[in-house]
Structure 1
Amino acid sequence: MQRRYVVVIVALLIVAGAGGLLVTGVCRVRELAARMNCMSHLKQWAFALHNSADTFPVERNEKQVSAFLSGTIPNADLPPEQRLSWLVSALPYMEQSHVFLQIDSTRGAGDPRNQRPIENRFEHLICPSSGEYDRSSRTWKSAGPLTHYVGVAGVGADAAALPLGHPKAGVFGYDRRTAIPNDIPDGTSNTLLLIETSQNPGHWAFGGPATVRGLVPESAPYLGDDRPFGGWHGNHTVWSSKKSHYCIVALADGAVHSLTNATAPEILEALATVAGKESLPANW
């Protein structure tokens, strides 16, 4: 009789273990799908930025060359955080011209005349792993429109305000435009363009830290839960509390990568600048 009970208990343990593995496997598949979808979002925005760069060139050495959008739509009467963001300028290249045409680009994001168009929400600005948008019910979690994808300004709290050519400057600056490839001697394949964040996501239409951020060394390490960047994509190992975090980034050449929280802070800082002349390992 006792042997029968032992057999039953062992069988139940096996079933429970198999069920746990099945649940873990399903969660992994779902997270992988969400991560791939997130990469697709960033790929589309990077493509839009390259298209806009070809449309609005700048002059370098008496030649017209392609250049990325400035971090904010220029407005000398407003501080960066009250201006319209680069995402507004990129809307026509994401098949959102009807929204762009409703926005008065001579005014700020908080101006009453712009209130209605900037209330639009865009699924392609939201990380699927965040749960911000439920596709089945077509409902949103937050009260206002957000973006989980921001432009990389360089290294330092003041990175977005640095002048063109500064060794700590990145692609996006509030008042600077980075020419391709003239202003990126570090190489477009070694320079961050966009990065995802779960920390204090801001309104997509506003300039300032809502849509452009630098890597502040005092906040390192940079990637993972409760860190400045990433934070949405995690992967638990079976029978262990150990967790890996992934952060999706787009490079200045348009390529999209999934970095892990094992990426050294100095590597990310080197990738964040356009002319820092840092040395990077071959397989960063």
Structure 2
Amino acid sequence: MPRRYVLVLVAVTLVVLGAGLLFTAVSRVREAAARMACTSHFKQWALALHNYAALFPDERGTKKLDAFPAGTVPNSVLPPEERLSWWVPVLPFMEQGAVCDQFDLTRGAGDPRNAEPVSHRLQWLVCPSSGEYDRGTHEWKSAAPLTHYVGVAGVGPDAATLPLGHPRAGVFGYDRRTAFLGDFPDGVSNTLLLIETAQTPGHWAYGGAATVRAFAPDMAPYIGPGRPFGGWHNGTPVLFGQRTHTCVVAMADGAVRSFSNATAPEVLEALATVAGHESLPADW
């Protein structure tokens, strides 16, 4: 091969490699910024939930329960998926009291009387990596207001319906409220509160699987594209090896962490329960 062709080939290769490295660097910066924004969302909602727990009275209004909300607004005549979600009573603690006040809490999310507040879109409930909300154009991609953040119900398909204290129950059950005093044998720092998901996100105002989800062992591994949780922070393009897929979570003590597709399913299952008494590795 003539020398000039070799030089041209080398030059083209260097340009391609340079462009690839630049694209990777830009992608990493963008993803890091989106993940930081997502982390900020989780911190705000975790704080809102703690403020709710500290200030909200029991059903009779006689004393403070110091408990997280039930997974759905209580309504004995509606199934969980038609009730209002736990997000609704927490809205005032995110300076959205005006929206909360518009709800008729005795009716479901699909009731005509709740049509106006249900139509509200909340930026803090969508992952910035999803592209759901365009901050430049202020436009939304989906027709319905969605949430990418859900409460953790525990382990197993029936986790949201289990009684308080069950070894597979998590913080959020459709009809149970988990209190700080006595309901966290595993410890609040070892219990998942919120987690993000890209899998069939639902409307934030609806109860059921739209806003409360569990870890189902037959769906493991849990984190990554097409998996039950995570799916937005899919790593950045790499020239060699595999991407790392991360998932942002909030713990019951208010701390915000990230797990990855390398996190063992058994660890996530142990963290999903409030009273499972599981053993966790030292470096989880």
Which TM-score band applies after superposition, normalised by the shorter structure? over 0.9
Aligned to 1:242: 242
Structure 1 unaligned regions, length at least 5: none
Q: How far did residue 57 of structure 1 move?
A: 4.7
The answer to which of 190-199 and 240-249 deviates more is 240-249
**1:58 Cα offset (Å):** 5.3
Q: CA deviation at 1:116?
A: 1.2
Indicate whether 1:255 and 2:249 are aligned. no
Partner of 1:38: 38
Aligned equivalent of 2:12: 12
Rounded to whole Å, the distance in 1 between the matches of 2:279 and 2:267 is: 9
The amino acid of 1:230's aligned partner reads G
How many angstroms apart in 2 are the aligned matches of 1:123 and 1:217? 31
Q: Residues of 1 paired with 2:187 and 2:80: CA distance?
A: 28
Q: Is the 8 A contact 1:186 1:277 kept in 2?
A: yes
**1:153·1:171 contact (CA, 8 Å) conserved in 2?**
yes
Q: Is the 8 A contact 2:56 2:64 kept in 1?
A: no
* RMSD of Structure 2 on Structure 1 (CA): 1.5
Q: Give the letter for the 2:72 counterpart.
A: T
Summarize deviations over 1:52-73 as a string: whole Å, max 9, x none.
Answer: 00012559xxx85410011011
**1:105 and 1:129 mapped to 2: Cα distance?**
32
Per mean C-alpha deviation after superposition, the further-off stretch among 168-177 and 241-250 is 241-250
Deviates more, 1:15-24 or 1:191-200: 15-24
Distance 2:119 2:97 in 1: 15
Query: Identity, % of aligned pairs?
Result: 67
Q: Deviations over 1:184-235 (max 9, x none)?
A: 0100000000000001100000000000011111111111111111111112
- What is the rounded CA distance, in whole Å, between the counterparts of 1:240 and 1:153 in structure 2? 38
Deviations 1:102-146 (A, max 9, x none): 111111101000011110001100001111111100001101100
One-letter identity of the residue aligned with 1:195? I
In the TM superposition, 1:1-284 aligns within 5 A as: 2-57=2-57, 64-236=64-236, 238-240=238-240, 242-284=242-284
The two structures have a TM-score, normalised by structure 1, of: 0.96
In 2 relative to 1, CA 57–273 (structure 1 residues): closer, same or farther, beyond 3 Å?
A: farther
Corresponding residue SS for 1:249: strand
Gapped regions of structure 2 (runs ≥ 5): none
Secondary structure of the corresponding residue to residue 4 of structure 1: helix
Asked if the contact 1:236/1:242 (under 8 Å) is kept, the reply is no
Q: Distance in 2 between matches of 1:197 and 1:181?
A: 29
> In 2, Cα distance between the equivalents of 1:154 and 1:243?
28
What is the number of equivalent residue pairs in this alignment?
A: 281
- Matches of 1:91 and 1:241 in 2, distance apart? 43
The CA distance in 2 between the partners of 1:149 and 1:5, in whole Å, is 55
Q: TM-score, normalised by structure 2?
A: 0.96
Following superposition, the deviation at residue 6 of structure 1 comes to 2.0
